[in-house]
Amino acid sequence: MSEIKSEKVSWIDFREASTKEIDELQKRFNLHPLVVEEFSTPTLRPKAAEYGNCLYLAIHIPLYDNENKTTYPGELDIVICGQTLITAHDVEIYQLGEFFEKLKKSKKQRDIYMNQSPGALLRFILEMLLESCFPRLDHISKKLDFVEKEIFANHEKEMVFEISLVKRDILNFRRTMKPQRTVFESLVRENKYIEKDLRPYFQDLIGTNIRIWNMLESAKETIESLEATNNSLLSNQLDMTMKVLTIFSAILLPLTVYSNIMSMSINIPFHTSPLAFWFHVSIMLGLAAFTFIIFKLKKWL
């Protein structure tokens, strides 16, 4: 557990809090038992609620798993109690960690971000976390450009798995971001923990959240269109392959019938001629050419 103090605000941040640390927080700030329970158990959905003498928020931050190449939600619990802001998380949220360390090391930064109230500090934290989503969205956009380029470079088969990865990434990103808007909207409403003059800033956070959602919607539509195009090209390739195989089978069919008829005959025509083999080969080639011409006249080729 780490703590930063300024003249007006204190910020406590801890990761994977132990039972002892939670008990200390409860005694120090007289936290409601439900808040203590929220610290101890994962929250599946974002929420905002007032418990006794504090405001509790649970939000999910989109984090990226490099090993599995997908986005996953990292839960962040936030409590405003008096002049103290408390953040708790079970997974490392690197954006939050960098911001915390920046304030811890620089008094100048503390004077900028911690000179008003916990509500103002909360606004800066949420703004920073939302802004950190845009580089991830840019990365997804680059992936979409790569997939599009590869699809039209005749690499359709290789792109099937890549498209699935991008779709999963976008889906998990959307699943993380969609419920957050209700939390931001609750902060705009009148409450004793967020000053009235801060509400326009939280309203702006709603706008940022909408921008992120619109970019995710655009990415979703793009990857679905690319997937449909890729499937169409793969299907066309399969159709062409089946068409070629069918044509070969149709051309070889008369030859097979002719050779079977000859094999059933006791006396093969011209069997006494030294040119009998070439004679029958010529007939078979003529049948193949005749079949090919029929296919061309019917415009099946």
Judge if 254 and 221 occupy the same domain.
Answer: no
Judge if 250 and 119 occupy the same domain.
Answer: no
Phi, then psi, of 29 in degrees rounded to 5: -110, 5
Judge if 278 and 132 occupy the same domain.
Answer: no
Judge if 266 and 207 occupy the same domain.
Answer: no
Residue range 110-134: average pLDDT? 88
Q: What is the pLDDT of residue 254?
A: 81
Residue range 249-254: average pLDDT? 81
Judge if 74 and 94 occupy the same domain.
Answer: yes
Q: What is the pTM of this model?
A: 0.77
What pLDDT digit, counting tens, does each position of 193-244 carry? 888 888 888 889 889 999 999 999 999 999 999 999 988 888 887 877 787 7
Containing domain of residue 179, as a range?
Answer: 2-236
Judge if 259 and 189 occupy the same domain.
Answer: no
Judge if 222 and 254 occupy the same domain.
Answer: no
Judge if 51 and 188 occupy the same domain.
Answer: yes
**Tally of domains in the chain:** 2
Residue 288 scores a pLDDT above 70: yes
Judge if 289 and 145 occupy the same domain.
Answer: no
CATH code where residue 150 lies: 3.30.460.20
Judge if 195 and 267 occupy the same domain.
Answer: no
Judge if 85 and 37 occupy the same domain.
Answer: yes
Candidate from 64-68, 181-185, 272-276 with smallest mean pLDDT: 272-276
